[in-house]
Amino acid sequence: NAGVTQTPKFRVLKTGQSMTLLCAQDMNHEYMYWYRQDPGMGLRLIHYSVGEGTTAKGEVPDGYNVSRLKKQNFLLGLESAAPSQTSVYFCASRTASGVSYEQYFGPGTRLTVT
Protein backbone atom coordinates (compact mmCIF):
# COMPACT_ATOMS: atom_id res chain seq x y z
CA ASN A 1 0.00 0.00 0.00
CA ALA A 2 1.97 3.01 -1.30
CA GLY A 3 -0.63 5.66 -0.36
CA VAL A 4 -0.29 8.81 -2.47
CA THR A 5 2.64 9.03 -4.86
CA GLN A 6 3.76 11.94 -7.02
CA THR A 7 5.91 12.01 -10.13
CA PRO A 8 8.38 13.66 -10.61
CA LYS A 9 9.93 14.73 -7.29
CA PHE A 10 11.88 17.62 -8.80
CA ARG A 11 11.71 19.51 -12.08
CA VAL A 12 13.27 22.60 -13.59
CA LEU A 13 11.45 24.25 -16.49
CA LYS A 14 12.18 27.23 -18.67
CA THR A 15 9.51 29.90 -19.04
CA GLY A 16 6.98 28.84 -21.64
CA GLN A 17 7.62 25.09 -21.38
CA SER A 18 4.86 22.69 -20.48
CA MET A 19 4.74 19.72 -18.15
CA THR A 20 2.38 17.31 -16.42
CA LEU A 21 2.57 16.27 -12.77
CA LEU A 22 1.15 12.87 -11.98
CA CYS A 23 -0.56 11.91 -8.74
CA ALA A 24 -1.58 8.34 -8.02
CA GLN A 25 -3.38 6.86 -5.01
CA ASP A 26 -4.08 3.22 -4.20
CA MET A 27 -6.64 3.76 -1.42
CA ASN A 28 -9.71 3.89 -3.68
CA HIS A 29 -10.38 7.46 -2.56
CA GLU A 30 -13.10 9.43 -4.33
CA TYR A 31 -11.72 12.92 -3.76
CA MET A 32 -8.37 14.19 -4.97
CA TYR A 33 -6.72 17.61 -4.68
CA TRP A 34 -3.81 19.62 -6.00
CA TYR A 35 -2.24 22.29 -3.77
CA ARG A 36 0.72 24.58 -4.06
CA GLN A 37 2.81 25.57 -1.06
CA ASP A 38 4.65 28.88 -0.99
CA PRO A 39 6.58 30.38 1.95
CA GLY A 40 4.30 32.26 4.35
CA MET A 41 1.19 31.39 2.35
CA GLY A 42 0.53 27.84 3.42
CA LEU A 43 -1.37 25.54 1.14
CA ARG A 44 -3.52 26.97 -1.61
CA LEU A 45 -5.95 24.77 -3.50
CA ILE A 46 -5.45 24.75 -7.27
CA HIS A 47 -8.03 22.21 -8.48
CA TYR A 48 -9.88 19.29 -7.01
CA SER A 49 -11.96 16.33 -8.11
CA VAL A 50 -14.85 14.59 -6.39
CA GLY A 51 -14.85 11.59 -8.70
CA GLU A 52 -13.60 10.05 -11.90
CA GLY A 53 -14.28 12.35 -14.84
CA THR A 54 -15.03 15.42 -12.70
CA THR A 55 -12.86 18.39 -11.81
CA ALA A 56 -13.45 21.76 -10.17
CA LYS A 57 -11.50 24.98 -9.66
CA GLY A 58 -9.94 25.83 -6.36
CA GLU A 59 -8.53 29.06 -5.04
CA VAL A 60 -5.70 29.58 -7.58
CA PRO A 61 -6.59 27.71 -10.82
CA ASP A 62 -5.19 30.13 -13.41
CA GLY A 63 -2.38 28.70 -15.53
CA TYR A 64 -3.19 25.09 -14.57
CA ASN A 65 -5.37 22.35 -16.00
CA VAL A 66 -6.29 18.99 -14.53
CA SER A 67 -7.75 15.68 -15.61
CA ARG A 68 -9.14 12.68 -13.73
CA LEU A 69 -9.64 9.99 -16.34
CA LYS A 70 -9.10 7.17 -13.86
CA LYS A 71 -10.19 7.14 -10.25
CA GLN A 72 -6.69 6.51 -8.96
CA ASN A 73 -4.92 9.23 -10.98
CA PHE A 74 -5.11 13.01 -10.93
CA LEU A 75 -2.96 14.93 -13.40
CA LEU A 76 -1.92 18.58 -13.11
CA GLY A 77 -0.79 20.32 -16.28
CA LEU A 78 1.09 23.53 -16.84
CA GLU A 79 0.63 24.60 -20.46
CA SER A 80 3.06 27.51 -20.48
CA ALA A 81 5.13 27.70 -17.30
CA ALA A 82 5.85 31.06 -15.66
CA PRO A 83 8.32 31.94 -12.87
CA SER A 84 5.31 32.65 -10.60
CA GLN A 85 4.56 28.92 -10.76
CA THR A 86 7.80 28.08 -8.96
CA SER A 87 6.51 26.25 -5.91
CA VAL A 88 6.15 22.93 -4.16
CA TYR A 89 3.09 21.04 -5.40
CA PHE A 90 1.23 18.57 -3.23
CA CYS A 91 -1.42 16.10 -4.20
CA ALA A 92 -3.86 14.76 -1.61
CA SER A 93 -6.78 12.37 -1.52
CA ARG A 94 -9.55 11.31 0.85
CA THR A 95 -12.67 9.25 1.05
CA ALA A 96 -16.07 10.82 0.43
CA SER A 97 -17.19 9.77 3.91
CA GLY A 98 -15.46 8.67 7.08
CA VAL A 99 -14.79 9.53 10.66
CA SER A 100 -12.54 12.52 10.21
CA TYR A 101 -12.42 13.31 6.46
CA GLU A 102 -8.63 13.20 6.76
CA GLN A 103 -6.64 14.08 3.65
CA TYR A 104 -3.65 11.92 2.74
CA PHE A 105 -0.77 13.77 1.12
CA GLY A 106 1.91 12.82 -1.35
CA PRO A 107 5.57 13.75 -0.78
CA GLY A 108 5.45 16.77 -3.08
CA THR A 109 7.00 17.93 -6.35
CA ARG A 110 9.44 20.83 -6.23
CA LEU A 111 9.12 22.84 -9.43
CA THR A 112 11.43 25.67 -10.45
CA VAL A 113 10.62 27.82 -13.47
CA THR A 114 13.52 29.94 -14.74
Partner 1 sequence: GEDVEQSLFLSVREGDSSVINCTYTDSSSTYLYWYKQEPGAGLQLLTYIFSNMDMKQDQRLTVLLNKKDKHLSLRIADTQTGDSAIYFCAERGTGGFKTIFGAGTRLFVKA
Residues that bind partner 1 (CB under 8 A): 4, 31, 33, 35, 40-43, 45, 48, 50, 56, 58, 90, 92, 100-103, 105-108
CB 62, min distance to partner 1, A: 18
Collapsing DSSP to helix, strand or coil, 69 comes out as coil
Q: Is 9 left (phi over 0), alpha (psi -120 to 50) or beta?
A: alpha
8 Å CB contact between 48 and 96? no
Considering beta carbons, is residue 79 or 102 the nearer one to partner 1? 102
Considering beta carbons, is residue 48 or 64 the nearer one to partner 1? 48
CB 64, min distance to partner 1, A: 16
- Using DSSP, how many helices (H) and how many strands (E) does the chain show? 0, 11
